Amino acid sequence: MTQEMQESVQEPVMQQDQMAPQAPEEKMLPQSQVNELVGRAKREAVESYKRQQQAAPESKYGLNNPAAFADESTVRRLAAEEFERRRDEAVAKERERHQQAEAERIVQNFHSKVGQGKDKYDDFEKVTGDLELANFPNVVQLLADHVDNSHDVLYELGKDRMKMAQLEQLSRMSPKDAIRQAQRLATSIKENEEAQKIKTPNAPLAQQRPSNVGTDTGALSVRDYRNKYKV
């Protein structure tokens, strides 16, 4: 990622000045695109060489110097060097453009996902607002691309900064293991939430005490005795 991109994305979750995801891994350009770049560089190399010869006709290898045409190997070498320089320059520019676009995508995806945390947690900004995300670019990319409840995971990491540091370090050592660990954490949070939604079931009917309301307990009142014995 370029220095300009890093400065533009260094923002916290709620303050955009602390986040800067690490530039994503370089991806191989399509063969068709490579061929196009190579062809363009080759044409530019030939045109550049022609312009050089026209601009300096009296030079050692100028058009008016017979030695320039006699030393064909020198001409080929110069043309090949110019071709390689322009090819490398074109490929480098294309790679930089691709990395810039990928970095912007990660930043946008990250903020889109973690923004849901403000609606779910009352203290989301308090827990995550001071995270120096510029120091955890790999964690940012993990949350942007590899889990769907990114706001939950960031909230959990905000409460346990050591866990966040460990995840960042693991990503540098073994990206695949870091992805698995982030997904395990995301799944664990989901399972805990589901468990909290399950209510304790009511006691079985056999264990419930019978109610005396509306039932005859067998005890006779004074009126019953009077009616019975005509007192």
Q: Let me know if residue 217 belongs to a domain.
A: no
**Please, which residues have CB within 8 angstroms of residue 197's CB and are 6 or more apart in sequence?**
none
- pLDDT score of 84 more than 90: no
Q: Let me know if residue 197 belongs to a domain.
A: no
Q: Let me know if residue 211 belongs to a domain.
A: no
Give the total number of structural domains in the chain. 1
In a 13 Å sphere around the CA of 38, the CA atoms on its Cβ side amount to 8
Which pTM was predicted? 0.54
**Please, which residues have CB within 8 angstroms of residue 67's CB and are 6 or more apart in sequence?**
60, 61
Distance from C-alpha of 28 to C-alpha of 84, rounded to nearest angstrom: 19
Residue-range definition of the domain harbouring residue 123: 3-7+10-191
**DSSP states of 117-151 as a string?**
HHHH-TTHHHHHTT--GGG-HHHHHHHHHS-S-HH
Q: Let me know if residue 184 belongs to a domain.
A: yes
Name the token pair of 154.
Answer: 């960031």
Q: Let me know if residue 215 belongs to a domain.
A: no
Assess contact for 137 and 107: CB atoms under 8 A: no
Full 3-state SS string of 51-64 = HHHHHCCCCCCCCC
| pLDDT at position 27 | 55
Q: Let me know if residue 155 belongs to a domain.
A: yes
- pLDDT score of 187 more than 90: yes
Give the pLDDT confidence of 21-77 residue by residue, as tens digits: 454 455 566 677 766 766 677 667 667 766 666 665 544 444 455 554 446 677 777
Spell out the long-range contacts of 66-73 with Cβ–Cβ below 8 A and sequence spacing 24 or more.
Answer: none
Q: Let me know if residue 130 belongs to a domain.
A: yes
Assign 163 to helix, strand or coil: helix
pLDDT band of 2, cuts 50, 70, 90: very low
Average pLDDT rounded to a whole number, residues 149-168: 95
Q: Let me know if residue 206 belongs to a domain.
A: no
